[in-house]
Structure 1
Amino acid sequence: MRIFVTPAQLVAGELVVRGDEHHYLARVRRARAGDRVELVDGAGRRAAAAITRITDADTALAVETPQAIAALPPLVRALVPLIKGDRMDTCLEKLVEVGVDAITVWPAARSVVRLDPARKPARLAKYQGALQAAARQSGRAQIPAITLADDLAAALAALPAGATRLVLDPASDGPLHVTAAVDITIASGPEGGLAPDELETLARSGFVSVGLGPRILRAETAPLVAIALVRAATRT
């Protein structure tokens, strides 16, 4: 069993958890006193713990000394467009599973979905919850960071200099070679593909077009395949 706590909570000694993590232990996993639990703080540390008490209101745990889990290079970012329906949630969940480190969601010209600025904080909170759930399921100690950019220019402005930059383009024959890269950003398009001016903007920002073979992949599938290939090639 695995639960998330804040970095400040992850210290050796007694810890009492309530709310969602208590509900997960008590109701979802039906844990009992004596059961072992792994605690992770979402920032790269984890600790073993044992349940000492579990009630309707909270769960008490005896926490052992936390250990830092180093993230293996390369650092991989994904620039993904807004995708309609539940496929956005699925995409984010699977990006965590295949090993993304940071995600920027942006409104592409051909994105079917448009995000109301007033709903942006609620949508971001929803996405963060999905990332945490996916990190728990996949055994990750780090929860990827996620941001919502107002447009492509804002997404690009937030990128660090010097990273390898790739854009997924079904019209490209460029191979996905990243074995020597230590910092990679992969951009992908929406349901209707990236618009020509978006491809031009990405190219001016140092993005190299690469393809993933002869088949046209869905907007939520292409970035997953690309990042899985990166992790497989670098054995991380």
Structure 2
Amino acid sequence: MALHFVCDDAGSARPGDTVELTGAEAHHASAVRRVRVDEAVTLGDGRGVWLSGIVTAATPKQVDVRVTGRDEVPAPSPRFVLVQALAKGDRDELAVQAATELGVDAIVPWQASRSVSRWDAKAEKGLARWRTIVREAAKQAHRAWIPEVEGVARTADLVRLAGAAQILVLEPSASARLTEVAAQASDGRDVVLVVGPEGGIAPEELTALEGAGARLVRLGDTVLRTSTAGAAAISVLSAAHGRW
């Protein structure tokens, strides 16, 4: 499979044009991936444009690609949205990376009441870090669409979201299995998966979400870490909706 790179300028390129990779992307292409002149590669803008091309020049500061083909990949519908509770260490970052590789379409950081990690004074830094992880994971997975990382949400924000989306809360004590719910026909709304922090979702948060129309579901009979639960759930949804 050809190496894949992301370039914001790819969106306007047509066959015959030359796209220039510069900065960190050029360094990654030439010094890390070691692309060579006449090598076939693919490019994307992260918003559905997918280009095929041939490398015509490669230096650490600039890599030129002559476009030979262009496709436009439709945005996935319905979208799979992961609401990932902030977690200590790098567990939430691992969750974001894996979910991106497995097909999530948007990610919402959640400041749950039991989240050990707090972004109160460093939200912008945290969002920038997650967006970098998502971009690199999407590139690694050769995805035409890079998932959006939205602003930090509180539980009240999730309650308000319930009217516009199908919210599935991953809760080990739930009676319904995700495999049963995921197989049901979608009504076109986003499918939102809510994953709690290490200590689980607080009872008052579960009550508020259920009261707003969210459904509690479980992943089998075991309890997964916050770093793996979302990825497992995205896999179930991808299979049930025919993406896999």
Matched, 1:107 2:111: yes
Letter in 1 for 2:169: V
Structure 2 partner of 1:133: 136
Is the counterpart of residue 195 in structure 1 residue 202 in structure 2?
yes
Tell me: CA distance 1:141–1:156, structure 2 relative to 1, closer, same or farther (3 Å).
farther
Q: Percent identity?
A: 33
Q: Does 1:73 align with 2:77?
A: yes
Q: Provide Cα deviations, 1:78-110, integer angstroms capped at 9, x if missing partner.
A: 111001112121110100111111111111111
Alpha-carbon distance, 1:8 to partner: 6.0
Alignment of 1:40 onto 2:40 = no
Tell me if structure 2 keeps the 8 A contact 1:38–1:46: yes
Say if 1:123 and 1:74 are closer, same or farther in 2 by CA, change over 3 A.
same
CA distance in 2, matches of 1:173, 1:7: 48
Shift of 1:224: 1.4
Corresponding residue for residue 221 of structure 1: 228
Unaligned runs of 5+ in 1: none
1:12-161 equivalent positions in 2, closer than 5 A: 12=14, 13-117=17-121, 119-157=122-160, 159=161, 161=163
1:163 aligned to which of 162, 165, 170: 165
- TM norm structure 1: 0.93
Which stretch of structure 1 is more off in the superposition, 159-168 or 20-29? 159-168
CA shift for structure 1 position 196:
0.8
Residue 192 (structure 2) aligned to one of 185, 191, 195: 185
TM-score (norm 2): 0.90
Q: Which amino acid aligns with 1:55?
A: T
Mapped to 1, the partners of 2:11 and 2:74 lie a distance apart of: 20
8 Å Cα contact 1:42-1:141 kept in structure 2: yes
C-alpha separation between the residues in 1 aligned to 2:94 and 2:208? Answer: 28
Q: 1:10 offset after TM fit, Å?
A: 4.1
Q: Which amino acid aligns with 1:94?
A: A
State the alpha-carbon separation in 2 of the partners of residues 101 and 215 from structure 1.
26
Query: Structure 1 pair 14/7, CA: closer, same or farther in 2 (3 Å)?
Result: closer
Over 3 Å counting, the alpha-carbon distance change for 1:73 and 1:124 in structure 2 is same
The letter for the 2-side match of 1:204 is: G
SS of corresponding position for 2:227: coil
Cα pair 1:9 1:15 within 8 Å, conserved: no
Change (3 A) 1:9 1:168: closer
Taking only aligned residues, the RMSD between alpha carbons, in angstroms, comes to 1.7
Aligned length: 234
